[in-house]
Every structure is written in structure tokens, then in C-alpha cells.
Structure 1
Amino acid sequence: MSSYDFDLFVIGGGSAGVRCARIAAGHGARVGVAEERFWGGTCVNVGCVPKKIMVNAAEYGQWTDDALSFGWQVTKGGFDLATLKARRDAEVARLNGIYGRLLGGAGVTSFEARATFIDAHTLDVGGKRVTAERIVVAVGGRAVRPDIPGAELGMLSDDVFDMTSVPKRLLVVGAGYIALEFACVFQALGAQVDVVYRDVLPLRGFDQDIREALPEALEAQGIRLHPNSRLARLDRQGDHLSLSLIGGEAVAADAVLFATGRVPHTNGLNLAAAGIDCTARGAIEIDAEHRTTAPNIWAIGDVTDKLNLTPMATAVGHALADTLFGNNPRRASYQNVPTAVFTSPPIGTVGLTEADAVVQGPVDIYLARFTPMRHTISGRPGRKTLMKLVVCQSTRRVLGAHMLGEDAPEIMQGIGIAVSMGATKEDFDRTIGIHPTAAEEFVTMRTRTREAGIRAAAE
């Protein structure tokens, strides 16, 4: 038997940490895991899951509006956020409990306490000294406020789930997926929403055609956009808040949500005592195997700030457990990871953007934009669908697929399989479409819209 208390100790009970702990225990390791806040981490408790429930609630209101055009005589009443909150919180509590039971069923020893390093093999877990041969750090990330006067008057994304009523005017600061998803949700629930952001277009890092199409869709539903804006200060003025922007403009609101980014939650872990180095943003530095600068310690999930997606964190946690204890060394690939943004309409994407693809060589672009059948009937404005394929000219491989439109996340999961397998444009072309659907457009786009990267390739 090892002289350590555990073969593996995991700090953090979110998606990455729970999966790693559970799989390692299944391989026969003696595993401990500590979580100081709630089992399931951000995703289950104040992230993906409760947010998607709110997205669903917003969609019901929009479908009610559409129903009249399809012959239904529907009377739309007021929305009660408190009722939704109660049902949503009950579902979160159920899932939270499942995470705890999964660990117990796998034989993992759980600690509901904060864990900090004493040295590379020793932890202080809620005042108890615990040793482990190997340690995995999976503490995730946390939302941060901008560094401006009055920032404490605004909410962070976690605070949204404590709200019991919809503000008449909501100001969202940020243009990432969290900011835009909540902007769409609250606009649909009855708020007047303003979105303030620094860049010319929202969703930095996404494909340019998607970024250009989204503002039209947001403005069509009544969301007011304020691009190219820099924050000066946030003040309370009587019964409302006022966000002053550099240059003189001020935006009034009843509530302000700061969704300007998240940082790795590494503060206070005493990482230096274990010999663990971090980047300037606080992310733990890792190699290709997710090993930190301490040879017996690994870091996975959002604390590494690589690709902050729950399924990615889960996949990495599973692969690491198989590598360390399952006699099956492997890595989870960060390439061709499908993802979605649950705006209204939603976005789905997998693979390379056009800008990233042209760095590798010339590409052909296939792009379609149309109004889906539902909205040719409903007439709801701003519901255009955009679909795009980025195809390598030399190999004909589909390097990227991008969509803005109804059911984009569901469609993109299947497209993600094809892109990950290396499907070519001809593979897409010979696939028979399902008619009538929007999804069939991905396999019926025959005419090249444009080519890109030619000049770069010639040089």
C-alpha cells in the first residue's frame, strides 16, 4: 500500500473533477475529492443547465407570439420569474445530488471543504491534513467585474439565478456568449435590453459571417446595441443605474449585468507551495498531458483557460483518469470541438473559421442565407438562417461548419461528427437531405460563394 492517504486527490467537484475522480476510482485507485461550494460546478449550478432552462422559458413566449399565425387563438399572460426560479432551482438541486451520488457509488471519498496546498503531496482540506501521490486541480473559473468606479452596483452571471423578477430595463456589458444569451433571454421575458461592448462586432473569435449576421437578428427583436464603447463608471441615480461611457454617453437601466469575462479560480490555493506556475491571467500552466510544473500534479478544465466548455472538461478528465490509472494513455483532442451559443436565434459551430482556415491555404466558401419555413409563416422579424461551409481547396475536406438559425445547436452536433471524421464536400453532397428541414441546406449547397486565401497561398 502507498504511504499516502490517496492515490489521487482532486480539488474541485465540477464536470472535469467529478469525471476524473469517478473514472480513476473505477480503475481501482483510492480517490478523494474536495468541493467548497457545490457539486457539479458552474455548469450545473450557475451556468449551462439553469441558463438553458431560462432559454427554454424565453422560447415559450416567442412561440406563443408565433402561434397566432398558425391558427391558434392564444392569450399571452405575464411572465413570472419567481415561478420559473422555483422549478429551475429544484432541477439544479436534483442534478447537484446526482453528482454527489455518482462519487459515492464509485467509492470516492468526498469532502465538502476548501482544499489548499501545503506542499506538492500535502493538502489542507477544511483544516484536515491529507496526502496524495497524485493531485488534480479542477477548480474552474469565476466571473469578474470590470475595474471601474461603481462596478459593485452591477450583477455577475451567478447573480442572475437569484433574481425573482424581470427588470424593466436591463443593461448587459459584454459581447461574449454569456452576455448575448442573457440579453436575448431577458428581452424575450419582457425587459428592454441594451448591450454595451468594446468591439465593432459581437462574439470575438467566431466566424466573421456569423458575427456580422448576429447584430441584425438582435436588433430585430428590440435589443439595442452599443458597439465601440468603453466603460467610464456606474452610478446609482435615484431609482435607477446609469452607466457612463468614455466620450460622454450614458445608458440608464434598472439593473446592470457585467458579462465581461471569467478568470481561472486559482486565488488562495497556495499553488506556489507545490511548485505550480501560472500565467499572468492566473491560469495554471500545463503541458500536452495536462501536467503542471509540479511533476505529480495535473490541471484540467477551465482553470487551464484552454477551451472553456463543459464537455471538453469532462472529456479531458476522463482521458486523464484512463492515462493515470487505466493503463490506457490517451488525450482528448481540442480540435474540431462543436459548440453552441444559445442566443435568439442560436448559433452552432465546429472546426475552423474562415480566417483561421486561410492561414493553412486556399479555401472555398459555401454560404446560404434564407428565412426558415416557420418564420415565412410567423413573420417574426430577424429570423434569417445562415449556414456556411469552409472547404479546403486541395483536399476538399470540410474544415469548418457554422450556422446561425433555428435548431443550430442540435444540427451542429451531427455535423460535428462528419467534420471530426474528415468528411469532404463530396461526402456532404452525396448525403440525401431530409426535406423539408433547414438542416438539408448543409448537404445541398452546390454553388461556391467565394474562394479565400488565394493571395496568401501564392505568396
Structure 2
Amino acid sequence: MAIEHFDIFIIGTGNAGKHVAYDAVEAGKKVAIVDNREYGGTCANRGCDPKKVLVGITEVLERSRDLSGKGINDLPTVNWADLIKFKNTFTGAVPFTTERKLDKLGIKMYHQSPKFIDEHTLSVEGKTVTADKIIIATGNIPLELKIPGREHVLISDDFLELKELPESMLFIGAGYIGMEFAHIAARCGVNVTMVDINDRILSNFDENLSKYLQENSEQIGINFVFKARATSVEKLRKNYRVTVNQDGETKELKAEMVFNTAGRVPSIEDLELEKGNVAFTKRGITVNEYMQSTTNPNVYACGDVAASNSLPLTPTAHQEARVVSKNVLKGENYLKLDLPPTPSVVFTQPQLATVGYNEKEAREQGYDIVVKEENVPSWFNSKRMNQNCYAFKTIVDKKTGYILGAHLLSWDAAETINMFVMAMCGNLDVNTLKGMIFTYPSWSYDIKSMI
């Protein structure tokens, strides 16, 4: 059988992989793409987008309950089956429409995880293909819990497909994925327990703001078990029993469903990267500043699978894919990855958002800083919604007045943080921001009092 050759072979059909594919076709290249799951990637099929649809109903629930007795009399109830049907209107057609567009562009498609044979050669669907350039954009997958009974543990994919909600859930891991799904479940009436090996939630976010969010989460009924490591899961008649080790003491917890939200790892296990001379670590494909493999110059990586020091987010995947496209199509050292300040958000309610340095990082970088931190539920935007959770921390360079970092906890944090991003990217100092006219009373107007 003849070996088919491509100019560019892309592994992964999420945002990063598709971006490179479209650019390559526009440049007149012969392109192939492959995915071992439904086409369209994690974000559109089983990640950010469907999750945000479910989050939407919790925003309605939260706002109604906050204003109960303040003009709202009858609280809404959740029809989970209808919500999932609504969510499916966003995800159901993604694989088909993705494949249809790729086919229309003349891109050869495969539906199996490929394996490297050598630096230029792959085996896929029983066929051998070669390519001048190979792009790895396979994303991340849930970290496997290596404990007895792990076959009983569900993942976020399963949560998004639940036909009905159980009475109780237990989440192993209180990072952003666990917290987002826990808030959805708890606000829909599920009894939620969260287990984490750390002593608090969201260890990568500001400690004080995370503490406020934790307290708010406890108010809606979420139970936290910290400094605890899950050691086994056992199926009972109705529930599952999760055994944890907490400070040397064994405890048993029970829930109808158990979810693994302990983190995500690069999806590279099936690629046999060693045969392709592609270096990798537990963080992903080892790349240089051009998103090129440090050991195989024919290979590039972008998105969550690349160990590029950027956050594993859809916007950064787009940026990395842009860099890969430029270097593959215009010359391997054409464009370096240079990410601007990158915001991140946890879509709980309230939302927790961050951009730039935290206080410790800013001091380690040698800055003389001004830190302003307050818990301000008395501010108008919080009071008008009868909420009790609104806080911020900003870090400003004392010498220049430039914002080095911002951390927000509020109903609108995911949007408000973008104002800080624009200020940081545009080198707008504190005095310039204070001199601007913003709409009032809006959440963004509040940033003038945060700096």
C-alpha cells in the first residue's frame, strides 16, 4: 500500500488544531487532521461552552434567591432534563459541522489516535503517512486516580451528560473544574462534598479571595474535607463509599456519585512520542519559544498539550496556534510566543477572576508595590443585588503606577477583569484610569475605587 504524504499533519481538532488547519489550507498546503474522539475538541464538545450553559441557570437561581423577599416572591425550580436538552443544542452539531467544514476545505480526516513511527512518519487507521510538519494539539485529559475502585469514579464529561441529578455528589479535587461543577450541583439542590489534598480551595488563586469564595460555598451547602487524600472507592447498594486519609486518620464518606476533578494532564499517552524523537515531560510536549519541539524540528505543539508556560485556556491555545501557523508557513523562526497578561476565571457564583502577578510574585520580581485589598459587600453593585460576597485585591507598581495584578470576586468578575487586562496591555497607569469616564453604576466603574 502506498504511503500518503502531507505537507502538514495535525493531531487534534480543537481550537488550536483547527486554527492551524485553516491557515495551512489557505496557504495552499496539503493537510490532514486526526482525532480519536468526536471532532471539535474539548471546549466546544465537553468543556467551556457546555459548562457555561449550565452555569447560566445557576446565575438565575442565585439572583432570584438573593432577591427573595425584595420583590421576588416565587423562586424558580430546576428542570434538569430540559437544561441538558438546551445544552445539547450547543454541542450536538459540533462534530458534524466541524467535519463538514474540514471536508469542504479538502482536508483529509482520520478518526483514530496516531502513533509515531519515526520523526516524519505516523501510523493511523492501519495506514502509514508521512508529513513535512506534524502539529500536536491533543489538549488535556483528566488525571487518572490510581486508587482501588477508580472505575466507579466519573469525570466532568459524565457530569455534562447526566440525565438526572442524584441526591448527593462527592468531588475529589477542589480546583476550578471541581468548584464550577460543585456550584452547579449544589445550587440545583444536590448535597455536595469536596475532598482536596490542600488546605483550601483553588490553590492557584489569591488566598484571601479564595477563602471568601469557600465561605460562600459553605453557605450554599457545600461541605469541604481538606488535607485529605482519597485512597479507595467502593460500590455500595445505593451509594459509593470513598475512603480518605486526613492527617493520618482514615475517614469514610458516602455519595451517590463520585467525580474525579483532581486535575488534567497532557493527552500524549497513545502517541508513542519516543519513536518520533519528541521530548516531553508531565507538563506536555517540550517546546521552544517558537512552539517547536526541542528535539524534533519537524514537530510543533500548541494548546494545552504544549509545555509553553502559558495557562491552559482557549484564548492562549488560539495564540499558540497562531504562532505555530506563522512558523510552519513562513519560516521556523518567524514568530515567537509572546503572551500578554492573561486573565483566568472560575465560573462559580460569585466568579473568581485573576490577571497578572499575585502579591508574592510581584515582590519576587523586585517591584516596590502598593497593595489594595478590601471585602466590599456594602458597595452599591453588591447591595442592589442583595449579595454578601464582593472582594478585590490590586497590585500596583509604586514607581510607574502601572497595574501588576488584579484579583476579583464578584457577580461580574469575568467581565470586569477584562478592564484590568486592557489597562495592563495598554500601559495605562492608575491616574489615567481614574481620569476616565465609565458608565455608572456599573461593575466596571468600581475599578476606580480598587486602585
Give TM-score scaled by structure 2 length.
Answer: 0.92
Structure 1 residue 209 displacement after superposition: 2.8
- Deviation readout 1:249-308 (Å, 9 max, x if unpaired): 2222111111001111111212111111221x2621111111111111111111124421
* 1:63, distance to aligned residue in structure 2 (A): 3.0
State whether residues 22 and 108 of structure 1, in contact with CA within 8 Å, keep that contact through their aligned partners in structure 2: no
2:420 aligns to what? 415
Hey, what does 2:326 align to over in structure 1?
Answer: 322
- Alignment correspondent of 1:449: none
CA distance in 1, matches of 2:196, 2:20: 37
Could you give the per-residue CA deviations for residues 166-213 of structure 1, whole angstroms, max 9, x where no partner exists?
111111111211010011010011101111111112112222332232
- State the match for 1:60 in structure 2: 60
Q: Equivalents in 2 of 1:64, 1:114: separation in Å?
A: 46
Conserved? CA contact 1:266–1:282, under 8 Å:
no
d(CA) in 2 for partners of 1:338 and 1:407?
A: 14
The answer on whether the counterparts of 1:335 and 1:351 sit within 8 Å (CA) in structure 2 is no
Q: What SS class does the counterpart of residue 254 from structure 2 fall into?
A: strand
Name the structure 1 match of 2:172. Answer: 173
Instruction: Confirm or deny that 1:376 pairs with 2:383.
Output: yes
d(CA) in 1 for partners of 2:385, 2:446: 21
Partner letter of residue 227 of structure 2? N
- Structure 1 pair 296/45, CA: closer, same or farther in 2 (3 Å)? same
Structure 1 pair 76–206 and aligned structure 2 pair: CA distance change class (3 A): closer
How far the C-alpha of 1:64 sits from its partner, in A, is: 3.2
Cα displacement (A) at 1:39: 1.6
Helix, strand or coil at the partner of 1:230: strand
> Which residue of structure 1 lines up, in the alignment, with residue 430 of structure 2?
425
Q: Which of residues 303, 310, 316 in structure 2 aligns to 1:312?
A: 316
1:231 aligns with 230
Structure 1 unaligned spans of 5+: 447-459
CA distance in 2, matches of 1:344, 1:179: 13
TM-score, length-normalised on structure 1?
0.90
SS of equivalent to 1:55: helix
Q: Quick one: distance in 1 between partners of 2:69 and 2:335?
A: 53
Q: Distance in 1 between matches of 2:107 and 2:431?
A: 49
Q: Distance in 2 between matches of 1:315 and 1:104?
A: 24
2:12 is matched with: 12
2:125 alignment partner AA? G
Deviation at 1:162, TM superposition (A): 2.4
Give the alignment of 1:253-264 within 5 angstroms.
253-264=255-266
Q: Secondary structure at the match of 1:387?
A: strand
Counterpart residue number, 1:42: 42
The count of corresponding residues between Structure 1 and Structure 2 is: 440
**Does the 8 A contact of 2:394 with 2:403 survive in 1?**
yes
C-alpha displacement of 1:89? 1.9
Q: Quick one: which amino acid aligns to residue 47 of structure 1?
A: G
Asked whether the 8 Å contact 2:244–2:251 carries over to 1, the reply is: yes
The structural deviation recorded for 1:373 is: 4.2
In structure 1, the partner of 2:448 is 443
CA distance in 2, matches of 1:430, 1:232: 56
Worse-superposed segment, 194-203 or 436-445:
436-445
Once residues 302 and 18 of structure 2 are traced to their aligned partners in structure 1, the CA distance between those partners, rounded to angstroms, is: 11
Q: State the identity %.
A: 29
Question: For the residues of structure 2 that align with 1:70 and 1:323, how far apart are their CA atoms?
Answer: 58
- CA distance in 1 between counterparts of 2:275 and 2:403 reads 47
**1:139–1:303 CA contact under 8 A, matched in 2:** yes
Pairing 1:31–2:36 present: no
Q: Report the 3-state secondary structure (helix = DSSP H, G, I; strand = E; otherwise coil) of the residue aligned with 2:420.
A: helix
Q: 2:140 maps to what in 1?
A: 141
Return the letter of the residue paired with 2:258: V
Q: Residue 245 and residue 211 in structure 1: after superposition, are their counterparts in 2 closer, same or farther (change >3 A)?
A: same
Indicate the residue corresponding to 1:300 in structure 2.
Answer: 302
Residues 133 and 328 in structure 2, CA contact (< 8 A), matched pair in contact too: no
How has the CA–CA distance of structure 1 residues 377 and 426 changed in structure 2, closer, same or farther, with 3 Å as cutoff? closer
Specify the SS of the correspondent of 1:28.
coil
**Which residues of 2 match residues 155-174 of structure 1 at below 5 A?**
155-174=154-173
Unaligned runs of 5+ in 2: none
* Stretch of structure 1 that moved more, 29-38 or 421-430: 421-430
| Residue number in structure 1 paired with 2:373 | 367
The CA distance in 2 between the partners of 1:57 and 1:108, in whole Å, is: 38
> Residue type of the partner of 1:367?
E
Q: Find the counterpart in structure 2 of residue 289 from structure 1.
A: 290
* d(CA) in 1 for partners of 2:35, 2:158: 20
RMSD: 2.1
